[in-house]
Amino acid sequence: MGWVATFFRSSIGSKFLMALTGILLLFFVLGHMTGNLLIFQGAEALNAYAHWLHDHPKFLWTSRIVLLAIFVIHVTTAIRLKLENMAARPVSYVKGRTLKATLASRSMVFTGLLLLAYILFHLLHFTLGVVQKDATGPSGPGGEKDVYAMVVTSFGNPVYAAGYILAIALLWLHLWHGIASFFQTMGWSHPRWTPLFTFLGKALSLLIFLGYVSVPFSVLTGLLKLPAGGN
176 or 212: CB nearest ligand HEM: 212
**Alpha-helix runs per DSSP H in 38-107:** 43-54, 57-88, 97-100, 103-106
Instruction: Determine if 170 is a binding residue for ligand HEM (CB under 6 A).
Output: no
Among 14, 36, 157, 185, the residue binding ligand HEM under the rule CB under 6 A is 36
What is the torsional sign of CA 119, 14, 172, 148? negative
Each residue 92-131 as x (binds ligand HEM by CB under 6 A) or -, in order, gives: ---------------------------x--xx--xx----
* Closest CB 156 distance from ligand HEM, rounded Å: 13
- For 193, what's the count of Cα atoms within 13 Å in the CB-facing half-sphere? 6
* Closest CB 197 distance from ligand HEM, rounded Å: 22
Q: What value does the CA radius of gyration of the chain take, rounded to a whole number of Å? A: 20
Instruction: Determine if 70 is a binding residue for ligand HEM (CB under 6 A).
Output: no
* Closest CB 147 distance from ligand HEM, rounded Å: 5
Instruction: Give long-range contacts, CB 8 A cutoff, 24+ apart: 66-71.
Output: 67/25, 67/28, 70/21, 70/24, 70/25, 70/28, 71/21, 71/25, 71/119
* Closest CB 119 distance from ligand HEM, rounded Å: 6
Amino acid letter for position 30: L
Q: Which stretch binds ligand HEM (CB under 6 A): 73-81, 131-139, 145-153, 179-187?
A: 145-153
Q: What residues have CB less than 8 Å from 112, skipping those under 6 apart? A: 75, 78, 174
* Closest CB 15 distance from ligand HEM, rounded Å: 21
121 or 197: CB nearest ligand HEM: 121
Among 29, 45, 109, 169, the residue binding ligand HEM under the rule CB under 6 A is 29
* CA torsion, ordered 72, 131, 64, 224, to nearest 10 deg: -120
Q: What residues have CB less than 8 Å from 197, skipping those under 6 apart? A: 180, 183, 188
Instruction: Determine if 215 is a binding residue for ligand HEM (CB under 6 A).
Output: yes
Q: How far apart are CA 2 and CA 7, in angstroms?
A: 9
Query: What is the C-alpha end-to-end distance of the chain, expressed in Å?
Result: 56
* Closest CB 50 distance from ligand HEM, rounded Å: 4
Among 26, 70, 151, 219, the residue binding ligand HEM under the rule CB under 6 A is 151
145 or 177: CB nearest ligand HEM: 145
Contacts to ligand HEM by CB under 6 A: 29, 32, 36, 50, 64, 119, 122-123, 126-127, 145, 147, 151, 164, 168, 171, 212, 215-216
